[in-house]
Amino acid sequence: MRILTWHVHGAYLRSLLKVDHEWLVPARPGRPPHFAGLPRDGPPWPANVREVDAGEVRDLDVDVVLFQHHREWDARHELLSPAQLAGPRVFVEHDPPFHGSPTDTRHPVDDPDVLLVHVTPYNALMWDSGPLRTVTIQHGVPDLGALWTGELDRGLTVVNNLAARGRRLGADVFERAAAQVPLDLVGMGARELAPQDLPAFEAPYRFLFNPIRYTSLGMAVCEAMMMGLPVVALATTEHAVAVRDGVCGYASADVDELVERMRELLADRALAARLGEGARAHARERFSLERFASEWTAALEGAAAVTPGPARVRAAPGSCSPAR
Q: pTM for the full model?
A: 0.90
Residue ranges of domains in the chain, CATH in brackets: 2-140+288-306 (3.40.50.2000), 152-286 (3.40.50.2000)
- 285 burial (CB, 10 Å; 0-12 / 13-18 / 19+) is exposed
- 196 burial (CB, 10 Å; 0-12 / 13-18 / 19+) is exposed
Return the pLDDT at 66: 98
Read off φ and ψ for residue 287, nearest 5 degrees: -115, 30
Write a three-state SS string for 9-26.
Answer: CHHHHHHHCCCCCEEEEE
Return the pLDDT at 173: 97
- 47 burial (CB, 10 Å; 0-12 / 13-18 / 19+) is exposed
- 221 burial (CB, 10 Å; 0-12 / 13-18 / 19+) is buried
Which residue in 47, 17, 51 sits closest to 31, CA to CA? 51
Angle, CA 86 vertex, CA 297 and CA 129 arms, to 5°: 65
Cβ proximity of 228 and 276 under 8 Å: yes
Cβ proximity of 221 and 241 under 8 Å: no
Return the pLDDT at 100: 87
Return the pLDDT at 297: 97
**First-to-final CA distance of the chain:** 24
Read off φ and ψ for residue 160, nearest 5 degrees: -80, 135
Q: What is the CA radius of gyration of the chain?
A: 21
Cβ proximity of 215 and 96 under 8 Å: yes
34 SS3 class: coil
Return the pLDDT at 323: 39
Return the pLDDT at 56: 95
Task: Give me the average pLDDT of each 10-residue run along the chain (324 residues).
Answer: 93 95 95 88 91 95 96 94 96 94 95 96 96 96 97 96 90 97 88 78 97 94 97 96 96 98 98 98 97 97 72 36 36
